[in-house]
Amino acid sequence: MTLTPKQTEIFTLIRDAIMRDGYSPTMQEIAQELGVSRVTVHEHIKALEKKGALTSSKHKARSLSIPDGFALPSDMHDGITFPLMGRIAAGYPIERLQDDESLSLEEFFGPRTGSQGATFALQVEGDSMVDEGICSGDYVIVERRQTARNGERVVALLPEGETTLKTFYKESDGRIRLQPANESFDPIIVDDCQIQGVVIGVLRRY
């Protein structure tokens, strides 16, 4: 299955929007983003549906979704797999490393596409979670979820429209406490918020 360059561009835009926002853009939003007509977008999306890259529901503006397991050929290369050479001691030395295994980040963190369990990355700005080893400039790997358990680090959308990375706690009075991991920051207490995902990993480049 091969996509044209424009189909790839539209597919990538839709995929990224779903992973970022939890829902697909409208035809008009895609047209405005790419500087093309709505009719052109409609034609490309129909072609993508025929090729099995997208599915949609009739009469719904944001119903585009990506079938589970579908990925662009460029997404399926081995670029996120590294040789797993063994274990390295941070204390006493250990025996020589072996080189017969590999570490796939996709297997480790989960799939990047699909309507359920998709993962995405966010770059951290600020030091409110530094005491849990999440520093400004780090990348957090987030599993898209709408619920969280006490003690999980979440990406939360606040009622004012801002997003924040904090540790989630449901208080006995029903309110939600979003707890920073830095004594210089106060917790955020809200009646409700929208959980957009739960942090499952942190990446840092030196």
- Taken in order of first residue, the domains within the chain and their CATH numbers are 5-70 (1.10.10.10), 74-109 (no CATH), 119-203 (2.10.109.10)
Nearest to 141 by CA among 195, 80, 205, 201: 201
Residues 23-68: pLDDT tens digits? 889 889 999 988 889 999 999 999 999 988 898 887 777 888 888 7
Nearest to 45 by CA among 60, 65, 16, 59: 65
Amino acid in the structure at residue 145: R
Q: What are the DSSP E strand ranges found in 24-138?
A: 81-84, 101-104, 119-123
CB 51 within 8 A of CB 144: no
Task: State how far the alpha carbon of 125 is from the alpha carbons of 25, 89, 134, 163, 164, in Å.
Answer: 26, 31, 10, 11, 10
Q: Model-level pTM?
A: 0.56
Instruction: Give me the chain's average pLDDT, please.
Output: 81
In the block, tokens 């091969």 appear at: 2
Handedness of CA 26, 30, 32, 38 (dihedral sign): negative
CB 69 within 8 A of CB 116: no
In the block, tokens 């309110």 appear at: 175
In the block, tokens 């963190």 appear at: 109
Q: Which residues of 125-146 are buried (b: 16+ CB within 10 A; e: fewer)?
A: eeebbbeeebeeebebbbbbbe
Residues 108-146: pLDDT tens digits? 676 655 444 577 788 898 999 999 999 998 888 888 888
Residue 77, pLDDT > 50, answer no
**Residues with a known catalytic role:** 128, 166
Query: Percentage helix, strand, coil, to 5, in the chain?
Result: 25, 25, 50
